[in-house]
Amino acid sequence: MRIKLNKPETLNKQPRINNSRFSRRCSKCSPTLLRIQSIPKDLFTTFLRRFVEEGHPWTKNSRFSGSLNKSLKVKKYITFKYEFLHLFKYFNKYPYINILIPVFLFLFTLIIYIHHLSPGVYGGDSGDLLSAIIKRGVPHPSGYPLYTILGIIFLKLPLTTTVAWKVGCISAVSSSISVVIMYLIIFELTRNRYLGIITSLILAFLYPFWLFAEVTEVFALNSLFVLLMSLLTIKYLHYKKIRYLYYLAFFTGLSLTNNLTIILFFPAMCIGILSTNIKILFKVKVLIICLILFLFGLLPYIYIPIVAISNQTYNWGKAVNFENFIALFFRKDYGWGTSLKGLSNQSLTKGIFYNYYLYISTYINLVIPFFSFLGAVYLLIKRRYKEFSLFFILYLFFGPLFLVYIRTHIKSFLAMATFEKFYLAGIIILIYLVPFGILLIQEVVNKLLKRKSLTKAIEKIVLSVFIIIAILNFITNYPKTNFKDVYIGDNYAKDLLSSLSKDSMVIFISDSAVFNSLYLQNSYGFRQDIYIPGMHDGFRKLLEQIGLNNTQIEEYIIKNRGSIKSNDIFSSIGSILSEREIFLDHQYQLKDSRYGDIVPIPYGLVYKFQFEKDSTLTKDEYLSKVELVTKNYHLDDLEKETDLLSNNLVFADIKKNYSIAFFNIAKHLAEYYENKESAVFYLKKSIELDPTL
């Protein structure tokens, strides 16, 4: 068959291509050569890659690649066989598909995410982020300026909903965009729309990904940056276009304004870029533009020093000078920024990896890691070393190396929930490899079975299995991520603050306790008479209690970056206790040379500090106070949301705290008052909430 194509008039005005070597290579397939004007280089290279993957005979010539590189230097005209025309027509027959599929994926997932979106505060850092947004302040290190600015914008949505719901829309929108980008990544890698759709839906309804799409946290936005930067890196590996470097430079800077764990992406990105085109290091103009775009992406960090100077009510780190700003940025005084301790503890390392295995097997399904492994094998077989290296290095840094870096003893559900956040990026990298595992299975089947009808049937069966996995993920995780009417975090803070006497002070250690309580105070104005000291306000009232004036307090806060020395806390507790009641969420006994021993007495979810020398309550007085405090606890929510609680680590931690509260009351009644009957009553309530305690 010969195809005749009329030359456009403009063709006569342009120089013709004379690439006889390339023409001879192509003449083995067909005697007809075509010249088509203005075929994009990106599209042409895509066609060639697909022909190579399908094993087209003329691509096996050892000199083909050199001829190809020479031909690609021509911008306007490309000489190629009539097979390319058919492929070109195929891609352009349904151009609307390229738009409809991403739009469908975005809207479909966004509707589900919005339906499930949490109207209440979640737990962990969630309340701190919300309070900083409400107060236009600075949250905990590294400051999260991008998320805070977006939260302030979303807070202006003209909707009669809670603050947590409005800010949570950031997570829902970010996750839906992430699903679209996953589709684009898989389509770019495989040129298979079906695999792209299936893989993106597997990600969309995967438990940890879906979870962070429904709550106020920075990790949905962080996942978006991981996926977006992966797409741009892959684009550069395939096409070597400088514009992709510019995009990467900007989004690299912007991603650092959200969560510093994105730094783990940089080694793989840099190695991939340099292995593709090391000459880029000598292009000064390109490097300067990349640097400018990178710095432009960091601009949201300007928010922090501006707010640090003006905001006194919610200002972590007091970043009014360069030293404090750097300490805030690198998390010098907070969280995993203080890691690298105990690196020689091998038993701890084994425990971290065992917990990782348990989480993957429980929440992800081991089918995904298995097909990810097959996908890695497929890339090696096909000699796609650049993609393999990119994904391997990404998983190495987001997985094992980071787990070793932040390793710590996991003693509670909340600690495990903290690790859950960091597992997510590594899981996303594993999903990149899943479609290649499917392709490997299909190729093996094609080689084993000679009948084409059977091979096509097997291919459809394999795809159907993964469609079923996506559907099962949706059905299984739908009730586990439905936060639509869940206020467990709010009610936990309400029960904590309701336990306290008027104008008292409470010292919280648990993140969920302190941040959820601050959110309730700042969002609803609930129990604002209670003072909650912390790094968010620089412990101002505690510093006032030890006799510092306003100028001295300001100097102290700046010098210590909002923290307070333990000696200053202990020296002020006794004098404060003589004026107002003090409560804690943990058991701690204090010795004071001036006031004597200070002991904690359990009152439900909190302990009350009391001078040991003071007369204690009688048994009946203590029982009446405890009953008054605990009878209004929101335990119905904990029992009602059983499907959610059975899988949610943060809510499981909150439920366990209630159980511990009843256990402490029972223990105090049995040991101090020797009232076994009442002790058994509260012990039973404790066991009902958590039989494993």
Residue 24, pLDDT > 80, answer no
Residue 80 located in a structural domain: yes
Confidence class of residue 48 from pLDDT cuts 50, 70 and 90?
low
At which of 422, 448, 474 does a domain end? 448
Judge if 492 and 351 occupy the same domain: no
120, 641 in Cβ contact below 8 A?
no
Cβ–Cβ contacts within 10 Å for residue 103, how many?
Answer: 11
Q: Tens of pLDDT along 594-649?
A: 767 788 899 989 999 888 777 678 888 899 999 999 998 998 888 776 778 888 99
Q: Tens of pLDDT along 315-357?
A: 998 999 999 999 999 888 776 544 444 444 566 667 788 888 8
| DSSP string for residues in 629-664 | HHTT--HHHHHH-HHHHTT-HHHHHHHHHHHHHHHH
**Mean pLDDT, rounded, for 272-294:** 94
Least trusted range by pLDDT, from 116-130, 374-388, 477-491, 641-655? 641-655
Given this model, what pLDDT does residue 11 score?
38
Q: How far apart are CA 641 and CA 480, in angstroms?
A: 9
Cβ–Cβ contacts within 10 Å for residue 384, how many?
Answer: 17
Residue 38, pLDDT > 60, answer no
Residue 646 CB partners (closer than 8 Å, separation 6+): 480, 652
**Between 132 and 538, whose confidence is greater?**
132
Q: Which domain covers residue 36, as residue numbers?
A: 9-93
Residue 109, pLDDT > 70, answer yes
Given this model, what pLDDT does residue 348 score?
64
Judge if 426 and 506 occupy the same domain: no
Q: Report which residue type is found at 443.
A: E
386, 275 in Cβ contact below 8 A?
yes
- Note the helical H segments in 159-218: 163-190, 193-204, 207-212
Residue 227, pLDDT > 50, answer yes
Residue 652 CB partners (closer than 8 Å, separation 6+): 413, 645, 646
Q: Tens of pLDDT along 153-211?
A: 999 999 889 999 999 999 999 999 999 999 999 999 998 999 999 999 999 999 999 99
Residue given tokens 């892959």 in the structure block:
234
Range 350-356 contact pairs with CB under 8 angstroms and sequence separation of 24 or more: 351/409, 351/410, 352/403, 352/404, 352/407, 352/410, 352/419, 353/400, 353/403, 355/410, 355/416, 355/419, 356/399, 356/403, 356/419, 356/423
Residue 83 located in a structural domain: yes
Residue 667: which of 579, 583, 587, 609 has the closest Cα? Answer: 587
**Between 235 and 674, whose confidence is greater?**
235
Buried b (16+ CB within 10 A) or exposed e, 259-297: bbbbebbeebbeebbeebeeebeeeeeeeeebeebbeeb
Judge if 510 and 630 occupy the same domain: yes
Judge if 418 and 493 occupy the same domain: no
Residue 80, pLDDT > 90, answer no
Given this model, what pLDDT does residue 234 score?
96
Residue 45 located in a structural domain: yes
Residue 552, pLDDT > 90, answer no
Q: Tens of pLDDT along 567-597?
A: 777 777 877 888 889 999 888 777 766 767 7
Judge if 525 and 603 occupy the same domain: yes
Residue 372 located in a structural domain: yes
Query: Measuring CA to CA, how many Å separate 358 from each of 209, 355, 362?
Result: 17, 5, 6
The number of distinct structural domains making up the chain is 3
Judge if 505 and 408 occupy the same domain: no
Cβ–Cβ contacts within 10 Å for residue 239, how many?
Answer: 17
pTM of the model: 0.84
Q: Is the bond leading into 171 cis (omega within 30 degrees of zero)?
A: no
Confidence class of residue 306 from pLDDT cuts 50, 70 and 90?
very high
Which tokens is 602 given? Answer: 């359990």
Residue 391: which of 276, 220, 267 has the closest Cα? Answer: 267
Confidence class of residue 290 from pLDDT cuts 50, 70 and 90?
very high
**Mean pLDDT, rounded, for 535-561:** 85
Residue 75 located in a structural domain: yes
Judge if 630 and 681 occupy the same domain: yes
Given this model, what pLDDT does residue 679 score?
92
What residues are paired with 451 via a beta bridge?
none
3-state DSSP helix/strand/coil percent for the chain, to nearest 5? 65, 5, 25
Given this model, what pLDDT does residue 145 score?
96
Given this model, what pLDDT does residue 313 score?
82
Given this model, what pLDDT does residue 643 score?
75
Judge if 511 and 607 occupy the same domain: yes
Residue 22, pLDDT > 60, answer no
Residue 233: which of 11, 46, 389, 40 has the closest Cα? Answer: 389
Q: How far apart are CA 191 and CA 606, in angstroms?
A: 58
Query: Measuring CA to CA, how many Å separate 361 from each of 356, 370, 497, 523?
Result: 9, 11, 38, 38
Residue 170: which of 190, 185, 153, 183 has the closest Cα? Answer: 153
Residue 321: which of 136, 130, 554 has the closest Cα? Answer: 554
Given this model, what pLDDT does residue 50 score?
54
Judge if 583 and 664 occupy the same domain: yes
Given this model, what pLDDT does residue 345 score?
56
Percent of the chain with pLDDT over 70: 82
Mean per-residue pLDDT over the chain, rounded: 83
Which tokens is 368 given? Answer: 């995904």
Residue 457, pLDDT > 60, answer yes
CA angle 241, 245, 247 (to 5 degrees): 110
Residue 405 located in a structural domain: yes
At which of 93, 126, 148 does a domain end? 93
429, 398 in Cβ contact below 8 A?
yes
Which tokens is 416 given? Answer: 């495990």
| DSSP string for residues in 65-91 | HHHHHHHTT-SSEEEEEHHHHHHHHHH
Residue 481: which of 238, 63, 42, 172 has the closest Cα? Answer: 172
Q: Tens of pLDDT along 467-521?
A: 998 999 999 999 999 999 899 999 999 999 999 999 999 999 889 999 999 999 9
At which of 93, 120, 138 does a domain end? 93
Least trusted range by pLDDT, from 50-64, 84-98, 379-393, 440-454? 50-64
Given this model, what pLDDT does residue 76 score?
34
Given this model, what pLDDT does residue 255 score?
97
Judge if 504 and 640 occupy the same domain: yes
Residue 291 located in a structural domain: no
Residue 657, pLDDT > 70, answer yes
3-state secondary structure of 213: coil
Q: How far apart are CA 22 and CA 65, in angstroms?
A: 10
Q: How far apart are CA 268 and CA 262, in angstroms?
A: 11
Residue 30, pLDDT > 80, answer no
Judge if 377 and 431 occupy the same domain: yes
Judge if 365 and 514 occupy the same domain: no
